[in-house]
Amino acid sequence: MAEVLFFTFATIAIGSAIGVVIARNPVGSLMFMVATLAAVAGIFVLLEAHFLAAIQVMVYAGAIMVLFLFVIMLLNLGHEYKRDVKGGLWSVMAFATTGVLGGLLVRQLGRSADAPTFLTGTGGETIDAALAEHGAVGAIARPLFTDYVVPFELVGILLLIAVVGAIVLAKKRV
Amino acid sequence: MLFALQVTVEGAPEWSPVLPGLVILLPLLGFVINGALALAHARRSADAVRGGGELDLPAGDMPLTHTLPTWIGPGVMGLAFLIAAVNFVGMAGVELHEPVIRTYWTWIVTGSLNVSAAIQLDQLSMVMMLVVTGVGFLIHVFSVGYMRDDPGYPRFFAYLNLFVFFMLVLVMGAGYLLMFVGWEGVGLCSYLLIGYWFSDREKADAGKKAFIVNRIGDLGFLVAMFVLFITFQTLDFGEIFSAAPDRIPYGSSMATIVTLLFLLGAVGKSAQIPLYIWLPDAMAGPTPVSALIHAATMVTAGVYMVARSSVLFALSPVGSATVAGIGVLTALFAASIALKQYDIKRVLAYSTISQLGYMFLGVGVGAYTAGVFHLMTHAFFKALLFLGAGAVIHSMHHALHHTHKDEDWDAQDMRNMGGLRRHMPITWVSMWIATLALSGIWPFAGFFSKDEIIWATGAWAGAANAPYPTLYTVYWVLALVTALLTAIYMTRLMVMTFHGANRTGEEEAKHLHETPRVMWIPLAVLAALSVFGGWINVPESISESFLGGFGLLPMGENLHQWLEPVMAGAHEIQAQHLGEISHQAPLLGGGELVWALVSTGVAAIVVLIAARIVGGQKHVAAVDAAEPRGLGRVLYRKYYVDEAYDAIIVRPVHALSRFSWRIVDSVIIDGTVNMVGNLARAFGWVGSLFHTGQINTYAFILTIGVLAILGWVAF
Amino acid sequence: MITEALFVSALLFVIGTLGVIIRRNAIIMFLCIELQLNAVNLAFVAFSRSVGIEGQVFVFFVMTVAAAEAAVGLAIIISIFRHYESVNVDDFNLLKW
């Protein structure tokens, strides 16, 4: 059952990703992106990362993509349907390079997955134990607020900076 | 200040020299002061630096820069001579067998080379010191009068003093390296003084020629020093000469090489074949310079060097024979050219070259004392001749200048002179004394010195184990012939200049007059020396005969005995390998006295005949004279040697430099450097192609980079 | 499952890279970068099955930073648009030599 679901989600994710790259209309690209995000969220669930799946959908697909959409609307893009994909030789070169990169990555990741330390890793059991004890949120919240509280605070400050920065940058100069 | 330096003395403890360093330092001090005065004058006006022109100041209005050198220039010389004389007296009172060496400081210490600033006081250097400072002093006094109207007056004395300083370093140095310092220094001063009137291109070129030709010879000296150092690990005279007989076998190629290399150096400095060409051109300098440098002192440096290295030359029969051969050939060659020259200074220049040839003949055949003796007497009468010529030129110049005839008429051309004895009697008499001395007439100085050289050549030709008897006999004959030629050209000079009708012109002749006292007193002193100077080295066979007043005249073998300790090493080698010297002439037999009588008699007859012939010829002024024809023309044109050198050496060197400049430097070297620059630009251009400004490109290259790293990690 | 997830992650990443290289629209390029980030998140979560909860914690941070970055980046794009009147990256070539 899990296999079938996984395969479905994977296909959707990859197909939508290709769609993001190929779509002519920016809004179309965006929609495909949302679909990818949703599929990846599904894979998250299958990997027992429930909290992250929820966050993915809410924050990523819900907020960030909406932001993108706002900007696209604001800039009134999409009216020129001229192809903005670089043509010919460039695409071939890019395709080839990224193909090689992809092959290498797959090979390496496959190898690392077969490494002894990896196969005997007990991470999965600990997560399951934490999930059982503290729930989906608690399993992440606990390390976040104890071991990693400093990065947590820093990320908060980062967000503040981002907000201020975005406002300053986008302000119309009068 | 001198005593503050660490001074070490080796040698005879019985005699301690009196301030010998001061002899060298006084001329240097003169140079500094006169040089400062020259610079001070240059700041105020361009006159003092201008190499030529007239000084536009009335005599009573001379600035300090033009009055002080009058006292400082000759003054330091006089003082130096006095100190040298005091030391001479001291040295004469003691039987000095080893040279006294005063070391002042250590100069070079590197590897096994250890050279100190040291002076060597022995009989030979004492003779040279006296000659240099004495004759130098007289010439300085003469220059006070001669150069009075010259704008660069202080500069002249500065250079003259500097020259004497270097010459003293040369003759007093205790080793070859110090001698070389002096050697180079006198070459430099020669250049400065020959090109003294540098605003005239020809005169400046003459100075350049002298220096460059000198330099060619210096190469020989340098390489000889290298060879000596390799063999002896030292360059000090004492150590080399005491070790030489053991370290260098008689007649070995090492001895020949060293002596021939030194000969090359001497040939450059002392104007022998093939490097004599600079000396006639050097007459472009002021006449006192010609007198001091190119007659009495600098050109004799080569002879001194050979005399000093007598041990080395005695060890090499080939080297000695070559020295003698070049000497006698040069003597003959130069004498023949002098027969047909019209510039009074040129005749004297070729005469100097010829007499230097005699000196080299002397030291070449092994008669080192005779060579030095002739050096000394030659200094007297040649300096006298040059100063006399200077007086003549001085007068002629004034005379021609009054009527502005000097634009077309050369004040130095003998064809423009004639009958000057009526106007310049003192000069006339002094120069005749010098002429007779030079021609070898008894009892004047040149007779004894020249005669001794010629006799020695013949005597060594007949020595018991003489290496080249026939060759030396040929030398002897050539030397005799040259003596005749000498008498001829000198008489010609005297007759054309002082006798007969005056060709200068009526108006001009009224302004010809004798020179002031400051100029003819040195002439008189030198004349006296030319008369009596030869009496210090007369062999017994002559001094006991009627030529020596049967022993009543104060003649004797004084110089020979004086220099014996210095020449002992060489004499020992000669006695060992050459055997007993002969007492008969090689051809026609006869002893020393007979040949002395014959040579002086023949010389006297030749003088009279030549005077008759030249007096009887019709002479015309230079502007109206035609160029000589036939053999005369070849002699007048100096056998076209300068033209030959120009074609064979100078032009190819110029072509080579032009090639080096235009092609090697501009094209190859600059091209290569530029090419490197252009390569960098090319690389830059290639690199710039990556900067498209497009983000996609940058992302692509990023990806390639990641790929590369990943690939390297994976494999 | 972990291995397959990793493969998916690799593919997504590569597709994202392709998008960055071949698209001219600045906003779409940015979107593809977000896709790359997402792929990395997936890889982290997959590894967390073997390593521990730290993987998921890190994903949390990555998402946060991605959000901040998106905000600022889009603000920049807007600001550039005001100047150039287009979001075609070919027009932003001031870095050309």
pLDDT tens-place string over residues B196-225: 988 888 889 999 999 999 999 999 999 999
According to DSSP, residue B246 is labeled H
Task: Give the B:C interface size as CB pairs under 8 Å.
Answer: 33
User: Which member of A86, A105, A108 has the closest CB to residue B696?
Assistant: A86
User: Which member of C11, C47, C59 has the closest CB to residue A14?
Assistant: C11
Q: Three-state SS string across B36-49, please?
A: HHHHHHHHHCCCCC
Closest CA to B161 of B122, B192, B126: B192
Residue A86: pLDDT band with limits 50, 70, 90: confident
Percent of chain A whose predicted confidence (pLDDT) is above 70:
95
Nearest CA to CA, how far is A124 from chain C (Å)?
4
pLDDT of B554 > 80? The answer is: no
Query: Which positions ≥6 away from B514 have C-beta within 8 Å?
Result: B395, B423, B424, B425, B426, B427, B520
B700: closest chain C residue by CA? C21
Residue B61: pLDDT band with limits 50, 70, 90: low
Spell out which residues of chain B touch residue A98, defining contact as CB-CB under 8 Å: 703
Residue B702: pLDDT band with limits 50, 70, 90: very high
Spell out which residues of chain B touch residue C13, defining contact as CB-CB under 8 Å: none
Residue A51: pLDDT band with limits 50, 70, 90: very high
Q: Does B710 contact A at CB distance below 8 Å? A: yes
Cα separations in angstroms, A136 against A45, A53, A59, A132, C2: 11, 10, 17, 8, 20
Q: Are A104 and B707 in contact (CB under 8 A)?
A: yes
Q: Does A121 contact C at CB distance below 8 Å? A: yes
Contact state of C21 with B694 under an 8 Å Cβ cutoff: no
Contact state of A169 with C70 under an 8 Å Cβ cutoff: no
Contact state of A144 with C57 under an 8 Å Cβ cutoff: yes
Q: Which chains touch C (3 or more CB pairs under 8 A)?
A: A, B
Q: Does A18 contact C at CB distance below 8 Å? A: yes
Amino acid (one-letter) located at B328: V
Contact state of A37 with C11 under an 8 Å Cβ cutoff: no
B6-10, B91-95, B190-194, B237-241: range with lowest mean pLDDT: B6-10
Look-up: residue for tokens 């490494």? A115
Q: Does A102 contact B at CB distance below 8 Å? A: no
Residues 677-706 of B with CB under 8 A from A: 696, 700, 703-704, 706
Q: Does B109 contact A at CB distance below 8 Å? A: no
Largest CA distance in chain C: 50
Q: Does A137 contact C at CB distance below 8 Å? A: no
User: Which member of A86, A93, A101 has the closest CB to residue B707?
Assistant: A101
Spell out which residues of chain B touch residue C92, defining contact as CB-CB under 8 Å: 693, 695
Contact state of A108 with B714 under an 8 Å Cβ cutoff: yes
Task: Give the CA-trace dihedral at B103, B108, B110, B113, to 10 degrees.
Answer: -50
Look-up: residue for tokens 């002479």? B619
Q: Does C86 contact B at CB distance below 8 Å? A: no
B708: closest chain A residue by CA? A101
Report the pLDDT averaged over residues B594-619.
85
Residues from B contacting C (CB-CB < 8 Å) are 688, 691-696, 699-700, 703
Contact state of C21 with B692 under an 8 Å Cβ cutoff: no
B711: closest chain A residue by CA? A104
User: Which member of C22, C26, C96 has the closest CB to residue B692?
Assistant: C96
Output the DSSP codes for chain C.
-HHHHHHHHHHHHHHHHHHHHHB-BHHHHHHHHHHHHHHHHHHHHHHHHHH-THHHHHHHHHHHHHHHHHHHHHHHHHHHHHHHS--BGGG--TT--
Question: For residue A38, what pLDDT is reported?
Answer: 96
Percent of chain B whose predicted confidence (pLDDT) is above 90:
37
A118: closest chain C residue by CA? C50
Q: Which residues of A22-49 are buried (b: 16+ CB within 10 A; e: fewer)?
A: bbeebeebbbbbbbbbbbbbbbbebbbb
Question: For residue B535, what pLDDT is reported?
Answer: 82
Contact state of A143 with C46 under an 8 Å Cβ cutoff: no
Contact state of A98 with B710 under an 8 Å Cβ cutoff: no
Spell out which residues of chain C touch residue A133, defining contact as CB-CB under 8 Å: none
In tens, the pLDDT along B263-303 reads: 999 998 998 988 999 999 999 889 999 998 877 788 889 99
Helix (H) or strand (E) holding B113: strand B113-121
Residues 50-79 of C with CB under 8 A from A: 50-57, 59-61, 63-72, 74-79
Q: If you average pLDDT over every residue of chain C, what do you get?
A: 90
Q: Are B603 and B490 in contact (CB under 8 A)?
A: no
Nearest CA to CA, how far is C96 from chain B (Å)?
4
Question: For residue B265, what pLDDT is reported?
Answer: 92
Q: If you average pLDDT over every residue of chain B, what do you get?
A: 86
According to DSSP, residue A81 is labeled -
Q: Which residue has the higher pLDDT, B271 or A82?
A: B271
Contact state of A109 with C9 under an 8 Å Cβ cutoff: yes
Nearest CA to CA, how far is C95 from chain A (Å)?
19
Q: Are A39 and C39 in contact (CB under 8 A)?
A: no
Q: Does C95 contact B at CB distance below 8 Å? A: yes
Sign of CA dihedral B575, B579, B583, B587: negative
Q: Does A90 contact B at CB distance below 8 Å? A: yes
Say how many Å lie between the first and final Cα of chain B, rounded.
82
Question: For residue A112, what pLDDT is reported?
Answer: 79
Encoding tokens for residue B616? 């009887």
ipTM reported for the complex, 2 dp: 0.91
Question: For residue B48, what pLDDT is reported?
Answer: 47
Amino acid (one-letter) located at B484: L
Contact state of C60 with A162 under an 8 Å Cβ cutoff: no
Contact state of C29 with B695 under an 8 Å Cβ cutoff: yes
Report the pLDDT averaged over residues A62-87.
80
Q: Report the range out of B338-342, B464-468, B542-546 with the highest average pLDDT.
A: B338-342
Q: Does A142 contact B at CB distance below 8 Å? A: no
Q: Are B570 and B366 in contact (CB under 8 A)?
A: yes
Question: For residue B10, what pLDDT is reported?
Answer: 60
Task: Give the A:C interface size as CB pairs under 8 Å.
Answer: 234
Contact state of C97 with B688 under an 8 Å Cβ cutoff: yes
Cα separations in angstroms, C71 against A15, A28, A169, B137, C92: 27, 21, 10, 102, 20
Report the pLDDT averaged over residues B690-696.
82
In tens, the pLDDT along B146-164 reads: 888 787 888 899 999 999 9
Q: Are B440 and B450 in contact (CB under 8 A)?
A: yes
Residue B1: pLDDT band with limits 50, 70, 90: very low
pLDDT of B704 > 50? The answer is: yes
Report the pLDDT averaged over residues B562-588.
82
User: Which member of B707, B713, B714 has the closest CB to residue A97?
Assistant: B707
User: B560 in helix, strand or coil?
Assistant: helix
Q: Which chains touch B (3 or more CB pairs under 8 A)?
A: A, C
Contact state of C24 with B703 under an 8 Å Cβ cutoff: no
Q: Are B439 and B486 in contact (CB under 8 A)?
A: yes
Output the DSSP codes for B308-339.
HTHHHHHT-HHHHHHHHHHHHHHHHHHHHHHT
Mutation target for C interface from B689, B691, B694: give the one with most C CBs within 10 A. Answer: B694
Rounded Cα gap, residues C30 and C12, in angstroms: 15
Q: If you average pLDDT over every residue of chain A, what do you get?
A: 88
Nearest CA to CA, how far is B707 from chain A (Å)?
6
Mutation target for C interface from B696, B697, B701: give the one with most C CBs within 10 A. Answer: B696
In tens, the pLDDT along B98-118 reads: 888 888 888 988 888 888 888
Q: Which residue has the higher pLDDT, B410 or B119?
A: B119
In tens, the pLDDT along B669-679 reads: 888 999 999 99
Amino acid (one-letter) located at B439: S
Q: Does C20 contact B at CB distance below 8 Å? A: yes
Contact state of A108 with B706 under an 8 Å Cβ cutoff: no
Mutation target for C interface from B695, B700, B703, B707: give the one with most C CBs within 10 A. Answer: B695
Contact state of B710 with A101 under an 8 Å Cβ cutoff: yes
Q: Does C93 contact B at CB distance below 8 Å? A: yes
